[in-house]
């Protein structure tokens, strides 16, 4: 899910306007629109060194930088951005590159836009700081893994019910109960060997059920957090900021 969030950010990034649209009729632009990003970069770089100087060099470097960001080659993107004047726009764009690369402190050191700073804190799971820069909705409630584990130690599978996984909860309950019942009947019938075997299996499944409930709560929290962050990020599309 985290990768989906980053992909959404990258896709929004490409709504930012460029310095000019004189490149739209080039073969490089065609390759870009066709999704052939690597070849489009090669074509744009060829236009940079074209002796005719028909196209604006700043526009070319900006296009190349954005395509490198799309390919997640942030170092190469920043090399292109360094060739441009250090305007607020370029600094924010470079900050976005750092942001998508997970270098949040460095991104905030050059970003001047409050919305981008807020988003950096959302991605860093620091919602208190994010709220200082942008208005965000209340985060979803969390499930407590320890509570889920305790619940399943009392009633097997109940912790998974608590984590919103009803089917897994029923399955865990039956899975633990089955060898326990078999162990009981084995001891009742005097078959101690099978009683101990079934009992051991039941014990391992019981412990696994507790651990599974703990992890189920963690997975629930991660999923809810990722969905929340994605929803909040979608509210702040890049083209609104520049």
pLDDT digits (tens, 9 = 90+) for 133-179: 888 888 888 999 999 999 999 999 999 999 999 999 999 999 999 99
Q: Are residues 156 and 186 part of one domain?
A: yes
pLDDT of amino acid 241 = 45
What per-residue confidence (pLDDT) applies to 15? 42
Buried b (16+ CB within 10 A) or exposed e, 189-228: eeeeeebeebbebbeebbeebbebbbebbeebbeebbeeb
Question: Whole-model pTM above 0.85?
Answer: no
Look at residue 8 and tell me if it is in a domain. Answer: yes
Q: 236 vs 83, which has greater pLDDT?
A: 83
For residue 232, being part of any structural domain is answered with: no
Per-residue pLDDT at 126: 87
What pLDDT, on a 0 to 100 scale, did the predictor assign at position 8? 52
Q: How many domains is the chain built from?
A: 2
What's the mean pLDDT in 221-240?
Answer: 75
Answer yes or no: do 12 and 110 share one domain.
yes
Domain that holds residue 149: 145-223
In a domain, 88, yes or no: yes
**Spatial CB neighbours of 78, under 8 Å, sequence gap ≥ 6:** 65, 94, 97, 98
Asked if residue 236 is part of any domain, the answer here is no
Q: Are residues 33 and 114 in the same domain?
A: yes
221-237 mean pLDDT: 80
């Amino acid at each position: 899910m985290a990768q989906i969030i980053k992909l959404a950010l990258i896709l929004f990034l490409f709504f930012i306007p460029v310095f000019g649209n004189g490149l739209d009729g080039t073969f490089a632009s065609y390759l870009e629109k066709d999704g052939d990003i690597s070849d489009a970069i090669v074509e744009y770089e060829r236009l940079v060194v074209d002796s005719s100087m028909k196209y604006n060099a700043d526009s070319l470097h900006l296009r190349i930088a954005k395509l490198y960001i799309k390919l997640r080659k942030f170092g190469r993107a920043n090399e292109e951005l360094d060739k441009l004047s250090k305007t607020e726009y370029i600094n924010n764009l470079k900050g976005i590159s750092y942001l998508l690369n997970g270098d949040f402190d460095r991104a905030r050191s050059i970003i001047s836009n409050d919305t981008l700073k807020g988003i950096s804190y959302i991605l860093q799971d620091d919602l208190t700081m994010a709220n200082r820069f942008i208005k965000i909705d209340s985060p979803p409630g969390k499930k407590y893994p320890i509570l889920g584990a305790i619940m399943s130690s009392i009633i097997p599978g109940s912790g998974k019910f608590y984590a919103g996984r009803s089917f897994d909860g029923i399955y865990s309950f039956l899975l633990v109960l089955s060898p326990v019942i078999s162990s009981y009947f084995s001891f009742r019938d005097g078959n101690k060997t099978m009683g101990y075997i079934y009992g051991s299996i039941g014990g391992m499944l019981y412990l696994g059920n507790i651990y599974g409930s703990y992890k189920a709560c963690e997975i629930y929290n991660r999923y809810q957090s990722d969905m929340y962050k994605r929803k909040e990020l979608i509210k702040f599309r890049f083209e609104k900021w520049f």
